[in-house]
Amino acid sequence: MVQKSLIKVIGIDLSASEKRGSGLCFLDEKLYAKCRTIYKDQEMVEIVKKYKPDIVGIDAPLSLPLGRKNIFRKSNVHFRKCDKQLWELKIKFFPITLGPMRRLTERGIKIRRMLENLGFKVIEVYPGATQDLLGIPRKQKGLEKLKKGLEKFGIKLENRKLTGDELDAVTAAYTAYLFLKGLAIEIGDKREGTIVVPIKEKLNFSPSNTKKI
């Protein structure tokens, strides 16, 4: 758990290609969120360098399953232990070897290495899992419902219309924030890569109490 009085985190809802926008959110200790849509890998890196967050949470697969050397080469290995544990939690997700997920995985691993080489702590998060575990509607159920669900946890959003990717980036940042507070854990096998999810037992899901996190 981070003991510093002020926490700064960044969440990225990564797209599979630089041609499509990715959501990025900077979240501070008081849960004020600043969002934007970005495209280029280097632009992400420059923003992270500017804000110097304690941790970066990326919504994208950041590793390959043990026994798989290449995301594009055919193999009978498709799932990491953390992916299987999401199934056990009844959380829906796309396997990392499925169609466009392969490009996303490739880009996620690239971005992770770029940031880690600069000394930043990077974790894999999945906004859909965080939203399901916290009882927040996913964006497929409506952006306004997702926005209000995040605000119930004390997150202070900008007074403008945020995209679904930006709201997922907020969720990614909030997951990273909970991790630093000791309220989220890594599931999976660290040898191949983990996903960070909230600890249900440690969170009180009443909106009036969750704002104290």
Confidence tier at 207 by pLDDT (50, 70, 90): very low
Number of domains in the chain: 1
Q: What is the pLDDT of residue 5?
A: 54
In a domain, 179, yes or no: yes
Q: Is residue 116 part of a domain?
A: yes
**Residue 75 within a domain:** yes
pTM value is 0.89
pLDDT in tens, 104-131: 999 999 999 999 999 999 999 999 999 9
Domain assignment of residue 3, yes or no = no
CATH number at residue 165: 3.30.420.140
In a domain, 58, yes or no: yes
Is 55 among the domain residues?
Answer: yes
- Residue 124: strand pairing partners: 58
**Which two tokens mark 198?**
């909230």
For residue 173, which of 162, 188, 159, 161 has the smallest C-alpha distance?
A: 162
Q: Provide the domain limits for residue 62.
A: 8-210
Q: Has residue 2 been placed in a domain?
A: no
Q: Is residue 51 part of a domain?
A: yes
**What residue type is 83 in one-letter code?**
D
With beta carbons less than 8 A apart as the criterion, state whether 183 and 199 touch.
yes
List, for residues 131-164, the tens digit of each pLDDT value: 999 999 999 999 999 999 999 999 999 999 999 9
